Amino acid sequence: MNYPFWNIPYLGSGWVIGIIAIFHVMISQFAVGGGLYLPVAERKARREGRADWIEELVGYSKFFLILTGVFGTVSGVGIWFAIGLTQPEATSTLIHNFVFGWAMEWVFFLVELATAAVYYYTWNRIDAKLHLTVGWVYAGASAATLIIINGILTFMLTPGDSWLSVAGTGHEASRFWNAFFNPTYWPSLFLRAGVCTALAGIWALISASLIDGEKKPALKSSMVQWSVKWLVPSFVANPFLLIWYLLMVPASQRALLTLGIATIGEGTFSAVTRIALIIIITSATIVGVAYYLAYRNPIEFNLSHAVAILLLALMATGAGEYSREMLRKPYVIGRWMYSNGVRVPYVSRIDREGYLVHSEWVWYGANNSYTRGEAIFRGECGSCHTLDGYRPLRKLLAGRDAANIESFIAMLHDYRPDMPYRKFMPPMVGSHEDVEDLANYLNAQVNPSTPSGQKPLQVARAADR
């Protein structure tokens, strides 16, 4: 473990990524779908001689530029910052394996930023055909960023046997394309493309809802109804694409969808199933609201209706990203790296040598069982758990005494095939002394005092006396 642990009390570092990512995905996927919406809408307007549409699209393209070029960019940088601190080992793997992929994505992203600005600032200043060409260039560049990023994101769930066969040898780059076009690449790409087009219509409804229906009834009706139609391809195709995607997910990960609540009470990852239901419910609600409030009554469609649809889309997007993350458990990179940054092939070595042996960042004061246990907790447990906030260990372990807590940690360390926690939790790696140290630390948190007022460090080794 070569990095210090980024400790975020209560919220947990993983949720810092999640919060940033949910908003970033909403905006970045709109950047792709909206990048197609604008030139298609402009072409339609020019072919039909709709000057009123052109006027509306000028304002919409300004909104598009600010939202995607400013907030999309800033949130993207925020994700890099957060993942580098939360999952440094996984981030390092992605950078080393996909360095040229990232480079290509950044080139296309620069093209996006440039053409988005040119597109807005050249309305009615350059030839209409050339202006439309700029829009198509933007659409192509933004689609390219999706195509590249999708390969890297899906790699984390399904890196594929070919890449895994050379992982850790230094020759991972020789399997670049195998890792990129991994088993879930194509279904995920089509799923995301559908979501992009739907978000294009949803964000366009925000702009269209502001049109004065009394003064411009024809304009508002046509733009609202046309924007609603952008939701249709996604909601028709995505159920089938989702089935295709799940068929490509390893069976061990699909099992998380059916994991019983009885296994670990409040900490159960059957939450994946509940989150999937949220996606279905919110998506169906979006269709209903968009049809009855927007398509059927475009003149009466107002900003509050549009914001309601946008919030539903935000819920669906957040649920989708959350479930995608949960499907990777207990890994952050499928079958190669556990969610706490421990590489699968290194488990036996760490068990033999000890977890903290190679952790140069551990403070010099870690010279007793409690402080060593705290360091192990931060490195092995902190990526998914907090003490009192998200997935709180104090609450999950409440009612257990020192012996019971040590027995529980030992069970995670043994990591037997029939252990129910194995489906979603990585093993507790380290020596038997590390097991005792972690148990002592957690026991001190769950049972902060004994009747005598002393911390109940029940398991004290001779080296600590």
Give ∠ CA 224-230-234 in degrees, rounded to 5. Answer: 145
**pLDDT in the model for residue 269:** 47
Strand partners, 343: 337
123 contact partners, CB below 8 Å, separation of at least 6: 54, 58, 61, 131
346-464 is classed CATH 1.10.760: yes
**pLDDT in the model for residue 2:** 52
**pLDDT in the model for residue 456:** 44
**pLDDT in the model for residue 6:** 82
Dist CA 244 CA 16 (whole Å): 30
Per-residue b/e over 146-165, b at no fewer than 16 CB within 10 Å?
A: bbbbbbbbbbbbbbbeebbe
**pLDDT in the model for residue 322:** 86
Give ∠ CA 87-167-412 in degrees, rounded to 5. Answer: 55
Give ∠ CA 448-401-418 in degrees, rounded to 5. Answer: 130
First to last CA, the chain: 27
Percent helix / strand / coil, the chain, rounded to 5: 70, 0, 30
Low-confidence stretches of the chain (pLDDT < 70) are: 1-4, 258-272, 360, 363-366, 450-465
Which phi and psi (to 5°) does residue 337 adopt?
Answer: -140, 125
Q: What is the DSSP letter of 186?
A: H
pLDDT digits (tens, 9 = 90+) for 368-392: 899 899 999 999 999 899 999 999 9
Strand partners, 331: 338
Dist CA 226 CA 420 (whole Å): 50
Sign of CA dihedral 440, 446, 452, 455: positive
Residue 373 in tokens: 């246990």
**pLDDT in the model for residue 365:** 58
Cis peptide before 448 (omega within 30 of 0): no
Dist CA 425 CA 440 (whole Å): 20
Dist CA 98 CA 94 (whole Å): 6
Dist CA 101 CA 145 (whole Å): 10
**pLDDT in the model for residue 271:** 66
Domains of the chain, by residue range, sit at 13-338, 346-464
Query: Which of 330, 371, 331, 353 has the alpha carbon at shortest distance from 1?
Result: 353
**pLDDT in the model for residue 258:** 66
- The amino acid that residue 14 corresponds to is G
Query: Which of 191, 203, 305 has the alpha carbon at shortest distance from 242?
Result: 191
Dist CA 160 CA 317 (whole Å): 26
Query: Which of 225, 237, 250 has the alpha carbon at shortest distance from 192?
Result: 237
**pLDDT in the model for residue 254:** 83
**pLDDT in the model for residue 462:** 35
Dist CA 406 CA 442 (whole Å): 9
pLDDT digits (tens, 9 = 90+) for 178-226: 999 999 999 999 999 999 999 999 999 999 999 999 999 999 999 999 9
**pLDDT in the model for residue 270:** 59
**pLDDT in the model for residue 267:** 46
**pLDDT in the model for residue 176:** 96
Dist CA 105 CA 94 (whole Å): 14
**pLDDT in the model for residue 173:** 87
- The amino acid that residue 404 corresponds to is N
